[in-house]
Amino acid sequence: MLPKNRLGNSEIYVSQLGLGCMSLGTEETKAIDIVKKALDLGINYLDTADLYDFGQNEELVGRALKGQRDKVVLATKAGNKWTQGKEGWEWDPSKLHIQSAVKDSLHRLQTDYIDLYQLHGGTIDDPTEETIEAFEELKKEGYIREYGISSIRPNVIKRFVENSSIVSVMMQYSLLDTRPEEWLDYLHENKISVIARGPLAKGLLSEKGLEKLQTKFKGKDFLDYSHEELENLLPKLLNFPSDKPLQATAFHYCLAHPAVAAVIPGASSIEQLEANVHALNEQTLSENEYATIKELVKQSYYDSHRD
């Protein structure tokens, strides 16, 4: 079984490796097989959202969990609204929308409760009080067990930490994106967990990272790193520590801070899923290994959306 961590100060315990369901695709048999295999391998934490494939992702996850719902910590997200005839998704963190969206998600997921319901974004101009009220009422009514936010915006994070009972903040976090690190101590002190999405940086931090750099990322930069810098950095990360696959280094780097409850890479095949589980089961990084890696990577900083 995979090790588990407590989510904030809740009674929810999540496997350190979750499954980000966005990359499951829309081919039903394949998607359901991946979810079922994830459960067999000890993953108990699945994360989806109402906007992934216009709700189809939630439907597939719901079908895959038939008869196994009680084994899973099920997380989904809301805050984006699709209106037929309008272009694109609209941001809507209103109480009315959230309390309506949860019913749609419950129906698609074929369940009567969601373990972790997350606000899928957030701006400083949102009616935050109303948003929090919506989540608190859903919790009271038993539709959700706990709630959190998915945001890297400092002013949004701070507002929810100070005014709500969130148990988690989901942030993109990896060796190539260290922006969340300024928040880890603060969130840990407030008994709020971090969920690290994108821990493999779109595959750059996998064993096929150099191949991806020359194909998918040919001539492209990644956040604070130029293509040339990535060409220089990735071989160093691949070779250190030499006895671990790069995925293991990537996962255990994020999990080194006690604020981080789980990493949630996606998997579009059973092979990827198995490689991720194998990597998580590798030994954690030693203090020296962690310090050496810190010297290799950049300390990034999120400089907008601050009060």
Instruction: Determine the Cα–Cα distance for residues 276 and 18; give it in Å rounded to an integer.
Output: 10
Say how many CA atoms lie within 13 Å of 205 toward its Cβ. Answer: 25
User: Is the dihedral angle over the CA atoms 105, 108, 114, 117 positive or is it negative?
Assistant: negative
Whether 263 is in a domain gets the answer yes
Chain CA centroid to CA 182, Å: 18
Per-residue pLDDT tens digits for 64-115: 999 999 999 999 999 877 666 666 678 788 999 999 999 999 999 999 999 9
Whether 132 is in a domain gets the answer yes
Mean pLDDT across 46-68: 87
Whether 230 is in a domain gets the answer no
DSSP character at residue 17 = B
The more confident residue out of 90 and 260 is 260
Instruction: Determine the Cα–Cα distance for residues 37 and 277; give it in Å rounded to an integer.
Output: 11
* Domain encompassing residue 96: 4-202+247-284
What confidence score (pLDDT) does residue 84 get? 65
Average confidence score pLDDT of the chain = 93
For residue 306 the two structure tokens come to 């601050």
Per-residue pLDDT tens digits for 133-166: 999 999 999 999 999 999 999 999 999 999 999 9
Contact indicator for 36, 63 with CB cutoff of 8 Å? no
DSSP codes of every residue in 65-99: TTTTGGG-EEEEEE-EEE-TTSSSEEE---HHHHH
Marked catalytic residue, from 45, 52, 147, 253: 52
Q: Using a pLDDT cut of 90, give the percent of the chain over it.
A: 79
Give the CATH number for residue 276.
Answer: 3.20.20.100
Q: What share of the chain is helix, strand, coil (3-state, %, to 5)?
A: 45, 20, 40
Whether 128 is in a domain gets the answer yes
Q: pLDDT band for position 25 (50/70/90)?
A: confident
Into how many domains does the chain fold? 1
The more confident residue out of 57 and 242 is 57
How many C-beta atoms lie closer than 10 Å to residue 108's C-beta? 20
The more confident residue out of 3 and 55 is 3
What confidence score (pLDDT) does residue 83 get? 65
Whether 55 is in a domain gets the answer yes
Q: pLDDT band for position 1 (50/70/90)?
A: confident
Whether 186 is in a domain gets the answer yes
52 is catalytic: yes
Whether 275 is in a domain gets the answer yes
Mean pLDDT across 253-281: 96
- Taking each helix axis from N to C end, the angle separating 154-163 and 128-140, rounded to the nearest 10 degrees, works out to 50
Say how many CA atoms lie within 13 Å of 71 toward its Cβ. Answer: 16
Cα diameter, the chain? 56
Contact indicator for 149, 78 with CB cutoff of 8 Å? no
Whether 212 is in a domain gets the answer no
Q: Using a pLDDT cut of 70, give the percent of the chain over it.
A: 97
**pLDDT higher than threshold 80 for residue 180:** yes
Instruction: Determine the Cα–Cα distance for residues 6 and 191; give it in Å rounded to an integer.
Output: 10
